[in-house]
Structure 1
Amino acid sequence: MPAEYSTPEYVDVIRRGIVPAFGPPSRPKRVIIVGAGVAGLVAGYELLRAGHDPLILEARNRVGGRICTLREPFSNGLYGEAGAMRIPRAHTLTMMYIDRFGLPTTDFMMESDQTWVHIGGVKRRLAEVRSNPDALGFETAPAEKGRLAGDIWAETIRPLVAQIERDGQAGWDAIYAEYDAYSVREFLELKGWSEGLIEMFGLLNNQEALMNSSFLELFREEAGNYYTNMCQIVGGMDRFVHAFLPELEGRIRYGARMVALDQTPDQAIVHYQTMAGRFQAVGDDAVITAPFPVLRHIEVIKPFSRAKQRAIRQLHYDAAAKIFFQCRRRFWETDDGIYGGGTVTDMPIRNLYYTDWGKETGRGVLLASYTWSEDAQRWGSLTPRDRIEQALENVAVIHPQITTEFEVGASYMWHDDEFAGGAFALFEPGQQTLLHDAIIEPEGRFHFAGEHASLYHAWIQGAIESGLRAAIAVHRAP
């Protein structure tokens, strides 16, 4: 197994560098890094600081990976976050890089009492739903009447949170051993929830499409307080990845698509394709940050171990879809008094977020729909034009003003992105025990990073942690 490090050790590397934290290298190494997403940029940045010679191969013509700020087709100053759009302040490593680069942040508002809940054809303010949950008409058990599913969820997991607070990592290990085999739905059924309460939780807490994923995925987020204190980077999330470029720009080769991997006892070899032909990059070691759906289609000339092959085949990635509307004015604020937060609905758009992206222009970008899993795949089956038209119909039910204030729309389907193959890794029940160790295990001179090579799936923090782990491993390898 690769060495595992604690958050304080990673913090020390970000603050001082690998050499002060772990000592000088035996000699400087040539390191080939596949992918200029967050994991690849972090690995390259820290290896360069440690005196090594990184080369980053990036198939796209931009850095960032699944940090993807769309500035087209929007008007000047407006943008939409197709990928990562919010950062928990509890994510220490992410916040340290933000501070290191001096990036300004502002709050990302997750909730507002003025947002809408539209279920069963009836539209109510969130404040009204909180004061009278029974008005939603869910067939809950007598003991659940008059209560929100989110409040009961907090009570249900409180003993597990207390176990972690009391026992630390030993508490986590015990919870992993007991609950890894459970999906979210199976956990709720185990705890005696009625079907009506499960449905309420799925709709109001944006979990319905994820009910069959591992319970541990949701619990990690809740126990870590990911959603209680969030921020965003002023001017767009792409400013985060662009902050690495003054050091790394000359070491990135764009338009270089990995097609095969090979290694000898002394070298890691990455074959890549550009419009000009096929080439190879040779290094002492390599860091592969490509998502496993992409790696599945790469020729590995000296095959990986059976455990790694199984992990590449079986690791589940979830679909995600976003639809954006540029609006002539910010009617949700001026007309409805909504400043931040999101509306939930059982219509196909499911979740609608009121953003402040480009607010200084006077116009607004509405995240008209953010969906996952089967909900997202259904949007992906439509043409781009049909997505905008149907989303407009849905949003008009909640905000009739959209028909006169809409200017332009855009959409992004991560499961249709050839360089992503999905939005993020998401364990199915049992996959943490079965696959995680194999996911992060090096294969000779190849090391693996990316949000999938962490337990912070879907978060920038996971990409950073894995990039740091891979950089330290390369630095310390003989």
Structure 2
Amino acid sequence: MAENVIGRRALLGTAVAAGALAATTSCAAPSARIDSARSIDRSVELAREMLQVDSDDKDLKLTYLRTLIDTGLPKTVAPKRVLVIGAGPAGLAAANLLVDAGHQVTVLEANGSRTGGRVKTFRGVFTDPNLYAEAGAMRLPSAHPLVLALADKLGLRRRQFHNADVAPEARSASVTPVAYRSFTGEQWSNGPAAEFRPPPAAGRSLIDTNGKIVSRANYAADPMIVHSGFGVGLTTQARVALDHALSRVAVSDDWPIERRIDSWAKVFNRYEDYSTHGYLMEQGWSLGHFAAVGTLENLTSRLHYGVISAMVDHTLIRPDASYWELAGGTATLTDALTRKLGPAVHQGKRMTHIEQTDRGVKVWTTAETGNEHTDGQPVDPIETFEGDYVILAIPLTATRFCTFDPPLSYPTRRAITELHHDAATKVLLEFKTRFWEQGPGGFRGGGCVSDCPNRFTYFPSHVPEAEGGVVLASYTWSDDAMRWDSLTDSERVHFALAGMRRMFGPRVDAEFTGVGLSQSWQRARYALGEAVIPTPGQLHEHHAATRTIEGRIHLAGDHTSLKPAWIEGALESAVRTALEVHQR
């Protein structure tokens, strides 16, 4: 399958001859006029996708659950040769479905050191070998049944992720089966019904703003002790104020599905051109509201993004929502999917060019010996792989540096070029003991918020038999993250420690083991950003093109769903594209 020898550096510097034509023709004028005006029909399409309702009014989520978890794809009598580009959750899940159905699948992954994409767990790098930490995805919402049920099917152990802090001695909730109730009235579950009983939030994590440090419990009792520092007379908690503003366009899960589709379509049609800032201004917010709520609820760096994303994420990332994590790290999920595929996964193969004809597809790759942050030494140059179809499951940002012959359609090329990708950066610090759990104000899990560069600090919900723990000392997005991205690795550790010292005092330095790690997804050369977070108008203009079938190329990944940055969205795309290819 592998042939052709050309220098790797020559390929990246000039492009192979087969890709040169595509590189020039990919800038050609569109063959047909693209209507960019607001369309109610497109709003209805977005609403249906949001609610996972197909054109025949069937529940796609239910179909995907049954396919991914229960039945798989029907066994094929005509095996296809399928090339899957990218070994993140979308590519790995699609590949497993197709292999189990009898197709011949080859997975090509650029990263030579690991699979998983933006699912990445740091292991074996801390002074305590029992400790690990998440560089990427770290929490799985109960509202995402596909990823939870897949973890259960693979035999992975999950436990409660405490998004809000609890008392150190509190017992985490028992693992409950995954349950999904369809709008059709049908119910799906992978076990008997059980009540979820989480421990109560302790409210002991800290808010550090305007030179004042208070516990979340004290803030809840008197929000003005924090809000007065921002010069706003807001007497409710920031979360409540944001809930109130966003609930003006809320769509209830109790409504009949026809009403929900119609209501979401109106939301998309009315508000998709709004930035979060513009929408909240229309709700009557003052500058003081933006200062206080923006700081406490992580809005300040994302106010220029489309408000629809804020509405969706706001329903998921909340203190009273339930979340799960995987014992051993989120990467146990993608590791398990990789093991199932065995030799079908080829790492260190960076796709650079795809050629398709009436008979099949041919993919050019260059060998990679580094990881997402370092460029390794050139090794064996170019390999080509041939198949009948391709599932392209890499970020749009990475696709931008690939060529296609013939070129992809104009709308898809525009989506690849223009859709906004957010930045996200984490700085993780290892400590000898979990000092934040000690004393009368001790807590486990949850996080602190600060107006210092750290912004958000999260604490481990559970630690194996170890005295210490790894703290996500700084978690930032957008412009906040890009400021961290400009620093060296050692500077990130230095400033993250300084931010924690502000809240917890000099003990931070005595407890620090000297091990600090950071992850910039903007500077990760195979991801080139964290996830698609659309700016105003981009959903109507570009989203449909991200999931178009381009001849023999099928597009997958969380960016093709309306759940970008979530594994659930990647899995939705995996089942969709596996079904598309299987049914051809």
1:51-450 aligned within 5 A: 51-60=102-111, 61-75=113-127, 76-112=129-165, 113-136=203-226, 137=228, 145-162=234-251, 165-166=254-255, 167-223=259-315, 228-274=321-367, 275-335=379-439, 336-356=441-461, 358-400=463-505, 401-407=507-513, 408-450=515-557
Which of the two has higher C-alpha Rg?
2
Q: Alignment partner of 1:253: what SS?
A: strand
Aligned equivalents of 1:246 and 1:151: distance in 2? 45
Among the aligned pairs, what percent are the same residue?
A: 32
Residue 159 of structure 1: how far off its partner (Å)? 4.1
Unaligned regions of 5+ residues in structure 2, if any?
1-44, 166-202, 368-378
CA distance in 2, matches of 1:285, 1:8: 26
- Quick one: distance in 2 between partners of 1:224 and 1:111? 13
Secondary structure at the aligned position of 2:498 is classed as helix
After TM superposition, give the deviation of residue 165 of structure 1 in Å: 4.1
Q: Conserved in 2, the CA contact under 8 Å of 1:140 and 1:194?
A: no
> Deviation digits for residues 150-169 of structure 1, max 9, x if unmatched?
11222233343245642222
C-alpha contact 2:73 2:579 (8 A) present in aligned 1: no
Contact 2:276 2:310 in 1 (8 A): yes
CA-CA distance at 1:177 after TM superposition: 1.1
Counterpart of 1:231, as a letter, is W
Measured after TM superposition, the shift of residue 247 of structure 1 is 2.1
Deviates more, 1:235-244 or 1:306-315: 235-244
CA distance in 2, matches of 1:450, 1:42: 11
Q: Are the equivalent residues in 2 in contact too, given 1:18–1:472 (CA < 8 A)? A: no
Deviates more, 1:329-338 or 1:378-387: 329-338
The secondary structure found in structure 2 opposite 1:216 is helix
Structure 2 CA distance, aligned partners of 1:308 and 1:301?
Answer: 14
TM-score (norm 2): 0.78
Distance 1:451 1:243 in 2: 19
Measured in 2, the distance between the counterparts of 1:16 and 1:300 equals: 36
Q: Distance in 1 between matches of 2:361 and 2:293?
A: 48
1:18 deviates by 4.3
8 A Cα contact 2:427 2:516, kept in partner: yes
Q: Aligned-pair RMSD on alpha carbons?
A: 1.9
Contact 2:423 2:481 in 1 (8 A): yes
Ranges in structure 1 where 5+ consecutive residues have no aligned partner: none
Q: 1 CA distance for matches of 2:419 and 2:340?
A: 33
Aligned partners of 1:226, 1:451: CA distance in 2, in Å?
21
Q: 1:264 to 1:217 in 2, by over 3 A?
A: same
**Secondary structure of the equivalent of 2:551?**
coil
Show the counterpart of 2:170: none
Question: What is the match of residue 38 of structure 1?
Answer: 89
Once residues 148 and 119 of structure 2 are traced to their aligned partners in structure 1, the CA distance between those partners, rounded to angstroms, is 16
Q: 1:133 to 1:104 in 2, by over 3 A?
A: same
- 8 A contact 1:330–1:363 mirrored in 2: yes
Question: How many residues are matched?
Answer: 472
The code of the aligned residue for 2:418 comes to: Q
Q: Which structure has greater helix proportion?
A: 1
